[in-house]
Structure 1
């Protein structure tokens, strides 16, 4: 019995000794890791090398420098000799020419039938399905919405809808389903049309083309 107790006591002491050595070993390793981390140098920031091309002075090509100054097409910067400005002036002249010719035609038609002139904008010529008419022309037109007939210079009929909306006290007459007439006659921005009311619900329509203006002849 005494021998068994001696064995158990020896075994207990051996376990405690092993545990003590293990704790000392762990503490030693932890201490070494802390010392190593403290001694480890902080990595230096990476320096981006400078780009010699960006730092170099701007070089101007002699060939490019010898070229004439290029036009500035920004809004409000156009010069009289710029192509854009010249084109705009020619377009304005063609528009004015078409309007003047339409006025001459209107005068020739006389006053037996009410007439009005309608210059074509880009939207009226290519996109809009409704064409507005002068408000004062309402007095010659039906008092309510109705079907209207447009007769071109080849005596072809085009049926549209007449509408007269009231905006406050002002009546705004217009022709709806206008897009077909514009497309069939290949209307363009700057064209000018003369509308002659030959019947209560029928217009004779004359087209003065802006393309008839030749800048070289004026």
Structure 2
């Protein structure tokens, strides 16, 4: 006797799917699922177009001026003229310092050092010319004495070819400014005579 053939897996799966489909139709589930899909995924609303508000051009014809200069005619400086004047005044101070240096005794070595911002307002450290340090100054750290034109003395530390500690006090006491030119004359191994040429003297002569 021949045994009956067993149904394979695919036939069973197809049969179950057909039975499930008929059951869903009887319960009207297909229509219900479709309606739920329409509700859960509404169409996005179209974006509204927004017209940008036009900006009014700035009126620069009446800019408010400071009370200190409101009653004065506007300045008519050419571009870069103030900067050029400052450079010219600093060069004038350095030139006068070189002229003064040339009149000093040649037995004592000297050099000119124009003042930068870092020398008189930030850092307060004054680097010295390398050639001068190598030839005439001590090879180690030393306390140097600065003597001004009135004979008053200040102590400053000489370190790594520069004046550091004590230089700030000298600069502040003499009200040194950016552009001043100083003549340093080595009158003893650790003593400098210092002559100050003011940059504002060049400015004053410019307006004289």
The Cα shift of 1:102 comes to: 0.5
Separation (CA, whole Å) in 1 of partners of 2:173 and 2:31: 95
Report the counterpart of residue 159 of structure 1 in structure 2: 155
Report the counterpart of residue 38 of structure 1 in structure 2: 37
- The structure whose residues are more often helix, as a share, is 1
Pairwise mapping of residues 1-218 of structure 1 onto structure 2 (< 5 A)?
Answer: 34-40=33-39, 42-53=42-53, 81-82=78-79, 85-138=80-133, 139-163=135-159, 165=160, 173-177=161-165, 178-214=167-203, 215-217=206-208
Report the counterpart of residue 13 of structure 2 in structure 1: none
Question: Which aligned runs of 4 or more in structure 1 are off by greater than 4 angstroms?
Answer: 30-33, 58-61
- Show CA shifts across 1:125-175 (max 9, x none): 112343111122132222332211001122221111123x4xxxxxxx222
For the aligned residues, what is the CA RMSD? 2.9
List gaps (5 residues or longer) in structure 2.
1-23, 64-76
Separation (CA, whole Å) in 2 of partners of 1:52 and 1:137: 70
Separation (CA, whole Å) in 1 of partners of 2:124 and 2:91: 25
Separation (CA, whole Å) in 1 of partners of 2:169 and 2:178: 16
The Cα shift of 1:31 comes to: 6.3
Separation (CA, whole Å) in 1 of partners of 2:48 and 2:91: 64
Change (3 A) 1:64 1:140: closer
The Cα shift of 1:122 comes to: 0.9
Separation (CA, whole Å) in 1 of partners of 2:163 and 2:143: 9
Separation (CA, whole Å) in 2 of partners of 1:137 and 1:205: 15
- Show CA shifts across 1:23-57 (max 9, x none): x9xx67x7675343234372333413322425xxx
Tell me the TM-score normalised to structure 2 length: 0.67
List gaps (5 residues or longer) in structure 1.
1-23, 68-79, 166-172
Greater mean alpha carbon deviation, residues 195-204 or residues 128-137: 128-137
